[in-house]
Amino acid sequence: MNVTATDLLAIAIFTITMMSLVGTMVGLSPVVPAAITMTLLGLWGIDIGFWQGKFGAYAQVWLRARSPKYRERISYHEAGHFLAAQLLGFKVVNYAIAGIVGQSLGEVLASKNFTGLEGGVEIALGETVSNSSNLLDRYSTVYMAGIAAEQLMCEGATEGGMDDMQRLRQSIAHLPNPMIQERWALLNAKNLLSEHRSVLVALAAKMLNGASIADCSQTIEQALKTDDYSISPTP
């Protein structure tokens, strides 16, 4: 679930309102919660007016990243994309892990084209191996690999992947049965990552520490050799 800065403000105001009601029962002056509410509203207004909500978005991601479970989950999610991409012949050119490896607050506030602080793995579509007849299948598998990695490695419902699914659905909207392609891609991604689970674990640890693209790729290659796997299986 993606909680926006506005949602967080609403939750905070509700909590403070309840605190003011309970506070009267325990002798707390109503001025205290009122002052806190006005301060929050002022900060929210400044953030929206001057920074288009960037500060609130950054604070939300930063706070979530303090959770070890969240850090583990998001690292597996992006590692799933990275590993699937390399296994299926795509060249990874960039990656970011939301709230962990990415832009600083100063960079976010200065950005004129701010689109969010989500993580992601960027691949070069023009530099692939194998023939292009199954390009859509491989591409679909990479899109769903983040969700697949979460399902394989983390407990509970997946937290990321809505953007992945939306982009995939745009890419396969022309197909007669796009939902069949989507379900197949998720299953194929899960099978692929399950076969290379130890590689996924090693890669996630590297990405969590901000390793370079070259270092991540080398980690995959070394782990594959250790497990006696082929580097470029096809779905």
> Tell me, what's the pLDDT at 69?
84
Q: CB within 8 A of 213, min separation 6: which ones? A: 92, 93, 94, 95
- Domain check: are 106 and 212 in the same one? yes
Mean pLDDT: which of 1-15, 23-37, 60-74 is highest?
60-74
Distance CA 94, CA 32 (A): 47
d(CA 191, CA 168): 19
Per-residue pLDDT band at 215 (split at 50, 70, 90)? very high
Q: By residue range, what is the domain housing residue 46?
A: 5-51
**Are residues 99 and 181 both part of a single domain?**
yes
pLDDT of 93 over the 60 cut: yes
Cα 75 to Cα 97: distance, rounded to the nearest angstrom: 7
With vertex at residue 153, the alpha carbon angle to CA 147 and CA 159, rounded to the nearest 5 degrees, is 40
17 and 126 part of one domain = no
pLDDT tens digit string along 124-177? 866 444 445 488 899 999 999 999 999 999 987 777 778 888 889 998 998 899
Residue 153, Cβ neighbours under 10 Å: how many?
A: 19
75 and 176 assigned to the same domain: yes
In a domain, 177, yes or no: yes
126 occurs within a structural domain: yes
Give the lowest-confidence range in 51-65, 132-146, 164-178, 192-206. Answer: 51-65
Residue 102 lies inside a defined structural domain of this protein: yes
Q: Are residues 129 and 87 in the same domain?
A: yes
**pLDDT value of residue 204:** 95
On whether both 90 and 188 belong to a single domain, the answer is yes
Instruction: Kindly state whether residues 31 and 116 are assigned to the same domain.
Output: no
Angle value at C-alpha 186, between 66 and 118, nearest 5 degrees: 30
Q: Are residues 12 and 72 in the same domain?
A: no
Number of domains in the chain: 2
Q: Please check the confidence at residue 193 and state whether its pLDDT lies above 90.
A: yes
Q: Is residue 58 part of a domain?
A: no
The per-residue pLDDT for 159 is: 72
* 233 has pLDDT over 50: no
Q: Which of the pair, 215 or 103, is modelled with greater confidence? A: 215
Same domain, 29 and 75: no
Per-residue pLDDT at 48: 63
Task: Flag whether pLDDT at 194 surpasses 60.
Answer: yes
Same domain assignment for residues 71 and 31: no
Q: Examine residue 83 and state whether it is found in any structural domain, yes or no.
A: yes
Distance between CA 74 and CA 204 in Å, rounded?
9
Which of 3-7, 13-17, 38-42, 202-206 shows the highest mean pLDDT?
A: 202-206
Q: Which amino acid is at 221?
A: E
- Is 103's pLDDT higher than 60? no
